[in-house]
Amino acid sequence: MLPLQLIVENKEKILQGLKKKHFVNAEEIIEKILKLDEERRGLIKQSNEIKNKINTLSKEIGELFKSGKKPEAEHKKQESVELKSNETQVDNHLKKVETELNALLVLLPNLPHESVPEGKSAEDNQVVYQHGELPVLPENALCHWELAQKYDIIDFETGVKLTGSGFPVYKGKGAKLQRVLINFFLDQATQNGYTEIEPPILVNEASGFGTGQLPDKDGQMYFVNEDKLYLIPTAEVPITNIYRDVILKEEELPIKNCGYTPCFRREAGSYGKDVRGLNRLHQFDKVEIVQITHPEKSYEVLEEMREYVAGLLKMLELPLRTVKLCGGDMSFASALTYDMEVYSAAQKRWLEVSSVSNFETFQTHRLKCRFKDKNGKIHLAHSLNGSALALPRVVAALLENNQTERGIRIPKVLVPYTGFEWID
């Protein structure tokens, strides 16, 4: 959520940013917001003045009763009652205005950083980095879902039987590979200064709202109606919400947390090759990294996080590229996002395995996550996060790119974890 003050003070800048993000109706909404805000201020002033009078009267009434001047007290009581009904009217009006205002504010996405490229869709994204040779596989190379079946390591059909599509069952070395990757990613993160967190995977509405999934993505999360809880779509939600309603000390920044959780996404309306095999799932495993930083440091940290994630993929010997998302392709809450993609040699396409974003104050404003500087002043912190990494597509690329006559080769860094060099 964008701070109201920012909108009031920087209307033009906001409109520009929203345009870059291809947000429609921006002008109309902003105008409404400005008008409502003006109304709101007026009403607050009125309400406060009435309350002030009532408070003063009440004190006087108390004194009058004490000194036994009953008739005068009664008179003032009457006056106070009238003021009260007046106040109730003003307050009701104010409440209505504030509800309307809030409903509009929540619609506005975050503003893109100035370096975000113009563009409408994924085609306009900029490749800013590429590393590794694209493997060339023989004609008879198999896609990962075929390999999964051949070596009996992932069973999609049984997942359908147990739950539904998008809930694969990992078996044998396939299951172990999941566990190994989680451990590897967590170990790397903790070695790089991130504190490991194991959060709940069900969260309440306030948490969903805090990181911006609600109300924007209501319907994409699984919801447990009985207890009014959401299954998390990413560890970002619980891990970032740790800092909801918290005032940090400046010297506590940056906060660096990481965590593994299963992630749950309903993702209604997907189709075709995008959802084959491991390409898109309703449940998957992911290690997430989250940082809460000083506002002046967040872009530096974003680059650091992006390099960190690229480093993971290099260790796994996967060809990768980094894409800077254009305005139209960015998420609701992000100010700048890099997607990390690996090349899946049998499918002959790039698969997104990580998304690293700076949210600036968009999340922290909702979260009320602030820090106190040396002078005792309170500021909003910046929040960032990234996948490091999501497993399924990494596994897809590993299986496809490393397939040989002999079996599937496990990357060297993982062998100490797996205890085997081949899936065969």
Binding region for RNA (CB under 7 A) out of 49-57, 155-163, 268-276, 307-315:
49-57
Nearest distance, CB of residue 315 and RNA, angstroms: 35
Smaller CB separation from RNA, 59 or 349: 59
What's the min distance (Å) between Cβ of 199 and RNA?
A: 15
Based on the shown chain and the rule CB under 7 A, indicate whether residue 47 belongs to the binding site for RNA.
Answer: yes
Asked if residue 11 binds RNA (CB under 7 A), the reply is no
Q: Which is nearer to RNA, 159 or 238 (CB)?
A: 238
Q: Which residues pair with 355 in a beta bridge?
A: 339
Using the CB atoms, write b or e for 139-176: b if 16+ within 10 Å: eebebbbebbeebebbbbeebeeeeeebbbbbeebbeb
Exactly one of 28, 31, 49, 274 binds RNA (CB under 7 A); which one?
49
| Sheet with 229-231, side-by-side order of all strands | 202-203, 229-231, 223-224
Task: Return the range that interacts with RNA (CB under 7 A); candidates 16-24, 275-283, 333-341, 372-380.
Answer: 372-380
Dist CA 308 CA 385 (whole Å): 12
Which of 13, 35, 59, 161 binds RNA (CB under 7 A)? It is: 59
Binder among 25, 55, 67, 121 for RNA (CB under 7 A): 55
The reply on whether position 376 binds RNA by CB under 7 A is yes
Q: Which of 347, 350, 292, 300 is nearest to 321 (CA)?
A: 350
State how far the alpha carbon of 18 is from the alpha carbons of 21, 45, 103, 331, 416, in Å. Answer: 5, 31, 17, 12, 49
Say if CB 358 and CB 143 are below 8 A apart: no
172 binds RNA (CB under 7 A): no
Is residue 44 at the binding interface for RNA, with CB under 7 A as the rule? yes
Residues 24-43 that bind RNA (CB under 7 A): 41
CB of 103 or CB of 134, closer to RNA: 103
25, 58, 99, 115: residue in contact with RNA (rule CB under 7 A): 58
Q: Does 269 bind RNA (CB under 7 A)?
A: no
Nearest C-alpha neighbor of 16 from the set 106, 125, 116, 103: 116
Considering only 2, 18, 26, 61, the residue that binds RNA (CB under 7 A) is 61
Q: DSSP per residue over 90-109, as a string?
A: HHHHHHHHHHHHHHHHTTPP
Single residue of 45, 75, 161, 349 touching RNA by CB under 7 A:
45
Applying CB under 7 A, among 200, 206, 378, 419 the residue interacting with RNA is 378
- Closest distance to RNA from the beta carbon of 210 (Å): 16
Min separation Cβ 233 and RNA, Å: 22
DSSP string, 224-273: ETTTTEEE-SSTHHHHHHTTTTEEEEGGGPSEEEEEEEEEE---TT--GG
49/307 with CB nearer RNA: 49
* Phi, psi torsion values for 76, nearest 5 degrees: -70, -30
**Which of 25, 48, 163, 404: binder of RNA (CB under 7 A)?**
48
According to the binding rule CB under 7 A, does residue 366 interact with RNA? no
Which residues from 238-267 bind RNA, rule CB under 7 A?
Answer: 247
Contact 364, 242 (CB under 8 A): no
Euclidean distance between CA atoms 351 and 272, whole angstroms? 15
Neighbours of 310 (CB within 10 A): 19
Nearer Cβ to RNA (7/408): 7
How far CA 288 is from CA of 125, 177, 188, 324, in Å, comes to 23, 18, 12, 19
Cβ(113)–Cβ(335) below 8 Å: yes
Can residue 179 be called a binding residue for RNA (CB under 7 A)? Answer: no
HSE at residue 263, side-chain half, CA atoms within 13 A, is: 23
Does 394 sit near RNA (CB under 7 A)?
no
52 part of the interface to RNA, by CB under 7 A: yes
Range list of H helices, 106-201: 144-150, 156-162, 172-191
Q: Which of 81, 127, 128, 224 binds RNA (CB under 7 A)?
A: 81
Which residues are near RNA by CB under 7 A? 41, 44-45, 47-49, 51-52, 54-59, 61-62, 65-66, 77, 80-81, 84, 247, 370, 372, 376, 378
